[in-house]
């Protein structure tokens, strides 16, 4: 794995999903805690991107888009590019814009994504498709262009704690996040000059989380119980701290750290996280003695929930 040191200063960072949530929080951190770093935020909505820059800079910078013709001097240190990151041709155009502006990113943060926590049968076809596009294609297409054009950079992908423990209510979300986890393992084997990090956040307070709570099934909330949301700012700070310490597999709370442990067990696969050696031992013991009991408890709760549901297919 590439030994690229992480830092906030003297960087050119591209942040996808940078108009809200954790992406916007990272933009604030880079902009406010560095002097020379330049930030490019990317998402689909132009108005949200413009508002994000106003918020990040406290209104001191007039938001401007990067284009192929209007070359960015970098004086304002922050700019935006509207892009549908789930469309490969749009991502290709994004990188053409970077090239036209002579921008060579040193860090890429793939923060774009979102969840619609519902029972699988209640999801619409559009929501299922959006889950794959938002949570996997956005990371996949960005990673592909980075591999082709910027191999000497730091690629930071964002998965989820549900990649370690997928459960009821997250059918639209968790499979794509597991896909990112697998992609990271492969990229680390193929991209010898690129530092590839993966973050596995739990619940944190954001616009998206507030909307999720409105439609999240009760059984999902019950199983998810121990994972209390932390602030978006604290989530960002914890990620930066671990990246700065040299770790590349990052959780932001104790629940996530423990779930990663159970995922490692006797099948550790190119993992470098905080106290990874303890996770290896704990994961092995947990899978033998703790996880089976916990899964029985989850199965009991799910079966009880099913018994309390009305069967829409039952004959009257």
Q: Is it true that domain 12-307 has CATH number 3.40.50.720?
A: yes
Strands 154-158 and 12-16: unpaired
What whole-number distance in Å separates Cα of residue 174 and Cα of residue 193? 29
- On the question of pLDDT at 315 being above 50, the answer is no
Three-state SS at 298: helix
What whole-number distance in Å separates Cα of residue 294 and Cα of residue 32? 43
What whole-number distance in Å separates Cα of residue 69 and Cα of residue 119? 47
Which of 61-75, 185-199, 227-241, 274-288 shows the lowest per-residue confidence on average (mean pLDDT)? 274-288
List residues with catalytic annotation: 159, 173, 177
- Count the residues in the chain: 316
- On the question of pLDDT at 137 being above 70, the answer is yes
What residues does each domain of the chain span?
12-307
The pLDDT of 229-246, averaged and rounded, is 95
**Left if phi > 0, otherwise alpha if psi is -120 to 50, otherwise beta: which for 71?**
beta
Q: What is the pLDDT of residues 275-306, one digit of tens each?
A: 777 777 777 777 676 767 767 877 777 777 77
pTM, whole model, 2 decimals?
Answer: 0.86
- On the question of pLDDT at 274 being above 90, the answer is no
Q: What is the pLDDT of residues 57-110, one digit of tens each?
A: 999 998 989 999 888 887 889 999 999 999 999 999 999 999 999 999 999 999
- On the question of pLDDT at 316 being above 60, the answer is no
Residue bearing the bigger pLDDT, 292 or 269:
292
């Amino acid at each position: 794995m590439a030994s690229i040191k992480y830092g906030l200063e003297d960087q050119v960072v591209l942040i996808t999903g940078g108009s809200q949530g954790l992406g916007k929080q990272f933009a604030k951190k880079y902009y406010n805690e560095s002097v020379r770093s330049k930030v490019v935020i990317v998402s689909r909505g132009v108005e949200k991107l413009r508002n994000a820059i106003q918020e990040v800079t406290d209104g001191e910078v007039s938001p401007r888009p990067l284009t192929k013709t209007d070359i960015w001097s970098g004086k304002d240190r922050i700019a935006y590019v509207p892009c549908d990151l789930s469309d490969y041709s749009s991502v290709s155009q994004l990188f053409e814009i970077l090239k036209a502006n002579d921008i060579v990113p040193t860090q890429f943060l793939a923060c774009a994504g979102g969840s619609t926590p519902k029972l699988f049968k209640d999801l619409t076809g559009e929501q299922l498709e959006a889950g794959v596009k938002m949570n996997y294609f956005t990371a996949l297409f960005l990673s592909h262009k980075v591999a082709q054009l910027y191999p000497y950079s730091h690629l930071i992908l964002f998965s989820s704690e549900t990649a370690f423990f997928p459960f009821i209510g997250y059918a639209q979300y968790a499979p794509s996040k597991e896909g990112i986890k697998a992609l990271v393992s492969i990229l680390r084997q193929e991209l010898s000059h690129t530092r590839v990090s993966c973050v596995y956040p739990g619940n944190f307070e954001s616009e998206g989380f507030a909307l999720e709570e409105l439609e999240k099934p009760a059984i999902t909330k019950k199983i998810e119980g121990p994972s209390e949301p932390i602030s978006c700012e604290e989530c960002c700070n914890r990620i930066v701290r671990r990246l700065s310490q040299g770790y590349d597999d990052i959780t932001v709370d104790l629940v996530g750290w423990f779930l990663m442990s159970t995922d490692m067990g006797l099948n550790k696969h190119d993992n470098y996280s905080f106290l990874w050696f303890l996770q290896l031992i704990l994961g092995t013991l947990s899978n033998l003695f703790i996880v089976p009991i916990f899964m029985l408890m989850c199965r009991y709760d799910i079966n009880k929930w099913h018994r309390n549901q009305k069967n829409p297919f039952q004959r009257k």
